[in-house]
Amino acid sequence: MKALVLASCLVIGSAGVSWAQVPPGPQVGHGPPNSIAAPAMSLKDLKPQQAEALGLVPKLTLSDSSGHAIHILPTPAVAAQRAKYGLGVPPAPGGRLPTAGALIYHSGGSVMPYQLVYLIFWAPAHLQNGGATGFSPKYGTVDYLHAAWVPDNGLNNLATQYYQTIGGVTSYIVNGGFLSGVYVDQGALPASGCTDSATPGNCITDAQIQTEVAHAMAVNGWTGGMNKIFVLFTSSGEGSCFDSGSSSCAYTQYCAYHSFFSSGGQNVIYANMPYANPANCQTGVETSPNGDALADAETSPTSHEMIEAVTDPLLNAWFDASGNEIGDLCAYNYGTNTWTNPANSITANQSWNGWYFEDQQEYNNHTASCTQVGP
């Protein structure tokens, strides 16, 4: 592991690639989700679950033949498509809100009691096709600090109303946690394991992402557990898909996801954070309070995944009848920007420790609303 220094930016050792050397990621176009021909019936006759089962709209929780599953943050385009079939909330402020108590606790499901955060920045010298890669100038600073502070602020406090009941004992989530480790991996990417339209030739599968998380854990002596989350940030131009069949991919179906796997008898909870892509993963209303559009675009997907992992780490605890988790019900809904960064006069909806962020709201089961602070 190279030495890390936190000052005005996160610096990789002197021989490595600095954040400032990085070109912005590719601007990719919207692609249609995988689908099959519509049945011989009117769309209004389709029940939401039928539309999902027929492949007319992507699911949020995807499973492979081994039973491994991930839960995605859909792109705004996919979220809007799901909303047409009654499977979610439109990705715009003022849209239809779910009913009170929309999130349902599934008996025996587990939550995270609190979060110890481990950050992994995958910063190879180049992409699989030899192209340039890296991170925007403030990516290291903004997303490092933001992820470190997610477990202990007002936004995450919304998670404290959710609980688990295991062995007859009910326990609630605690609004607490802290950064426990950071690793910058400058090792080469594996051979492209999938084929996607957004980043052709540069694509890693979920299995390869799990391998990288396990590698970072082994190098640093980190272990798994129900109070730890491993957040993996990949560099510009690198895409990902759930599997080698490219059934669901970054920028066309999802902007991030969370999941878990088993290692050494413990659960390893992780989040895949593809490089920020404002063209495909924002609605156009978002601000850039830190003056780096790419760094700022990554904060909301990060808090989305981290807070969803708190309330549904093993994908068996808190979600509604359509499979939406706490973040899905408020995806791309930012509420009111009540803060202004005095350094540039740009507004934001979160202010933590003197830094400003534009993060989506989270669902409050008590009030049946998307809120910025809770409960």
pLDDT recorded at residue 374 = 84
In this structure, is residue 298 part of a structural domain? yes
Q: What does the buried/exposed string (b/e) look like for 249-280 if buried means 16 or more CB atoms within 10 Å of the residue's CB?
A: bbbbbbbbbbbbbeeeeebbbbbbbbbbbbeb
Model confidence over 66-79: pLDDT tens digits? 999 999 999 999 99
In this structure, is residue 83 part of a structural domain? no
pLDDT recorded at residue 57 = 83
* Average of per-residue pLDDT across 27-33: 37
Amino acid at 113: P
In this structure, is residue 101 part of a structural domain? no
Q: What is the pTM of this model?
A: 0.89
In this structure, is residue 179 part of a structural domain? yes
In this structure, is residue 255 part of a structural domain? yes
In this structure, is residue 72 part of a structural domain? no
In this structure, is residue 35 part of a structural domain? no
In this structure, is residue 167 part of a structural domain? yes
Q: How many domains does the chain have?
A: 1
Domain span including residue 273: 112-375
Model confidence over 225-259: pLDDT tens digits? 999 999 999 999 999 999 999 989 999 999 999 99
Cis check for the bond before 375: say yes or no (omega within 30 of 0). yes
